[in-house]
Amino acid sequence: MGGTRLNNMKPTIFISRMIPDRPLQQLKIACNVTVWEGEMPPTRRELTAAIAEVDGLMSMLTEQVDAELLDAAPNLKVISNYAVGYDNIDVAAATARGIPVGNTPGVLTEATADHAFALLLAAARRIVEGVAYVREGAWKTWNPIQLLGYDVHGATLGIVGLGRIGHALAKRAQVFGMKIIYHGGSNEAYARDTNAVQVDFETLLRESDFISLHTPLTENTYHMIGADELAMMKRSAVLVNTARGGVIDTDALVNALQRGLIGAAALDVTEPEPISADHPLVHLPNCIVVPHLGSATRATRERMGMLAAQNLLAGLRGEPLPNCVNPIVYAKREA
């Protein structure tokens, strides 16, 4: 066997994709680290083999971590998801096995809100169509009725899920002179701080000029935006999704965009994800699709990595994770 005696005493961890250098170096001090270096995620079979003997797993949102996978990793003491969302993990299965699961809230809030607002502005002012227009050589003169979009100032923004990211988006919208309504999320300080008015879901759908989704994907939010909800929206409504693709029924959205039932959509996340280049959604002029970039800045991804590393190291030491999504595992241990 390779490695020194000391190295052999270090816990072993698997990281399912290359991460920024700073958190990686920090983990290497304390652990024997294996990083999956492929651009594509490990296949199910590769992942199963890779975690057979590890003490810790750092997973990405591309990995489905379920009971079957966990049973293939009998030594596993902690799962650290490199994301705030954790719909890719069967948390109940981890809890049943006494395994704490960590995520990375907070550190990506502002970056994700920036991204949602960038998509909102881009869709409202038809930035992507404008770029294509110039590239195609269609720009021959100035035209009073060409590529007209929607006013953002003075418009009503409906936020579905006024949590951390929804609130950070509301702060941006406020300085743009938008009126803010929201449904879901019950933090009164967030609402007061941004003059956001709580409304029922149907009112939000009917009254918003822009709708931005900020809910986790759960059984309750799966396809929360379907044909009926799209039909209630204004014909000029712009729908922004930086949450999870599964919150929207994709087929219903394609239909609504094709028939002009809503004005436009701007999507950072899709169902399925990734979406193939020949999918109709990708070719609709009134739809912008970008490849899940909400937290994709250098500084934010490094902060996510540091938090994910802290979660992993705490779990390996048997200490509570700084950000644990199933703290009930600790109660179970003491019982």
What is the contact surface with ligand GLV in residues (CB under 6 A)? 61, 83-85, 105-106, 108-109, 163-165, 294-295
User: CB of residue 115 vs ligand GLV: minimum separation in angstroms?
Assistant: 10
Shortest CB 164 distance to ligand GLV, Å: 3
Q: Phi and psi (nearest 5°) for 192?
A: -60, -45
Residue of minimal CB distance from ligand GLV? Answer: 164
CA distance 111 to 232: 30
Q: Are 89 and 65 in contact (CB under 8 A)?
A: yes
Nearest distance in Å: CB 292, ligand GLV? 6
Q: Kindly write down the DSSP assignment for every residue of 78-112, as one continuous string.
A: EEEESSS--TTB-HHHHHHTT--EE---STTHHHH
Name which of 169 and 178 has its Cβ closer to ligand GLV.
169
C-beta separation of 247 from 215 below 8 A = yes
Which token pair is 49? 């083999």
Which residue, 208 or 241, is less far from ligand GLV as judged by CB? 241
Torsion angles phi and psi, residue 250, rounded to 5 = -60, -45
- Rounded distance between C-alpha atoms, residue 65 and residue 252, angstroms: 29
Q: At its nearest, how many Å lie between ligand GLV and the CB of residue 112?
A: 7
- Give me the active site residues, please: 244, 273, 292
- State the Cα–Cα distance between residues 29 and 87, nearest whole angstrom: 30
Rounded distance between C-alpha atoms, residue 73 and residue 319, angstroms:
20
For the CB of residue 13, give the shortest distance to ligand GLV in the complex, in Å: 20
Contact 236, 261 (CB under 8 A): no
Residues making up the chain, counted from first to last: 335
Q: Which is nearer to ligand GLV, 85 or 320 (CB)?
A: 85
Q: Kindly report the number of other CB atoms within 10 A of residue 61's CB atom.
A: 19
Task: Give the nearer residue to ligand GLV in terms of CB position, either 54 or 89.
Answer: 89
Specify whether the CB–CB gap between 180 and 159 falls below 8 A: yes
CB of 261 or CB of 275, closer to ligand GLV: 275
